[in-house]
Structures are given as C-alpha cells and as structure tokens.
Amino acid sequence: MIDAVVFDLDGVIVDSEQVWDEVRADYARESGGRYGPDAAREMMGMSSPEWSAYMARELGVPGTPDQINAEVVERMLVRYGELPPLIPGAVDVVRRVADRWPVAIASSSNLELIEVVLASAGLSDVVREVVSSEQVARGKPAPDVYLEAARRLGATPSLCAAVEDSHNGIRSAKAAGMLVFAVPNPHFPPGDDAVADADVVLSSITDLTPERIEAAVKPPY
C-alpha cells in the first residue's frame, strides 16, 4: 500500500536544471570566479546554504554564501518570469496522483522558487506540503528532505513513493526508504549506480500513473 507520493521539482515538474546551471555559471564568471564542467553535477541536490558555500569555497565566487544565494535566486526569478518552463504533461500527472494520495514536494530549490512554479502550474491547491532542503540539516543525497516531507504528511516513509530525476535525488529518496520512480534527467543523467537503486525507471513523467505506482508496490511477506 502507498500512503503518499512525494515529487521532486526541478527536472520532474519544471525543466530547470540547465537554467540553474546557466545562471550559476554566468554569475560565477561575471563576479570573477570560475565555473568548470563538473560544477553543475557537484551542486545538484545541494541545499541553498550548501551550494552557495560551495560556490564561495570551490569556485572562488566573492561574497558570503548568503549574498551568493540571494543573487542567484534573484536571477532565477527573473529567468522564470511569469512562465517557468514546465515539463509537458507533468502538471496533469501530479493532479492525477493527487486525486488518489496526498502529495508533497521535496526539492533542493529555494522556497520562493518552489512557490512561483506551483502557482504558475496551478498546483498550489493540490500539493499539501512543500519542503525545501534549505529547511533541513542536509541536502540531497541525504534523506532529510524526503523524511521531512513524509513527517509533515503524517506518512510512513517506507509507504511513500518518490519521483526523482537526478543522481543525488534518487539516492536521497532511496535512503529515506521510499519506493523510488526515476525519470532520468536528459540534461544531467544520473549515474548507472543511482538508476540501479530506483525501483522503477520511466522514460517520461507522463508514464507515471496511479496504476503504475500501485503495480510497483511489493506485497508483504
């Protein structure tokens, strides 16, 4: 049985992983820091305190982590404008799943960015709980954000399904003990080891249906 379903946001509902990469790269270089090809993958899944500290420490971006975080988020809000790049079909999937189970978001994005996406998508009234990794002790791949989402929903983590696209996201949901549906991100594909950890691998978010979720639940022994 399933008690609840927890969705990641970036790469699952909104096609934004490459937007984050572009914004951070531009800011790092414009401010006198550096940005190599591994930076995006290193920061994927980190909470905002973690990635902003990483940019200061590892990429040589001047300013405090709080200053870096504020500037990057402001640029992300400008890029989103009034129409974030929603993944085709994702909103309908969330609504169908929410008709059957309580739904939460467990994301590495900042709260203000999550709220913009949900409002634009018309999902603010559908998603019961929203957890940003900035609200927990550790970002992904630690399980904290998924465990907190389950706690807020009053659900047992092992009876929750999680929907993820990234390497660290899949590992985070798996570490929380959830049934993991992976929709590999085409821009930043998860490693083979993370994909192997997923319980179900889908080629598209539109392949996720309540029936598919129920079929993946293993019977008790």
- Annotated catalytic sites, by residue? 8, 10
DSSP line for the chain? ---EEEE--BTTTB--HHHHHHHHHHHHHHTT----TTHHHHHTT--HHHHHHHHHHHS---S-HHHHHHHHHHHHHHHHTT---BPTTHHHHHHHHHTTS-EEEEESS-HHHHHHHHHHHT-TTT--EEEEGGGSS--TTSSHHHHHHHHHHT--GGGEEEEE-SHHHHHHHHHTT-EEEE---SSSPPPHHHHHH-SEE-SSGGG--HHHHHHHPPPP-
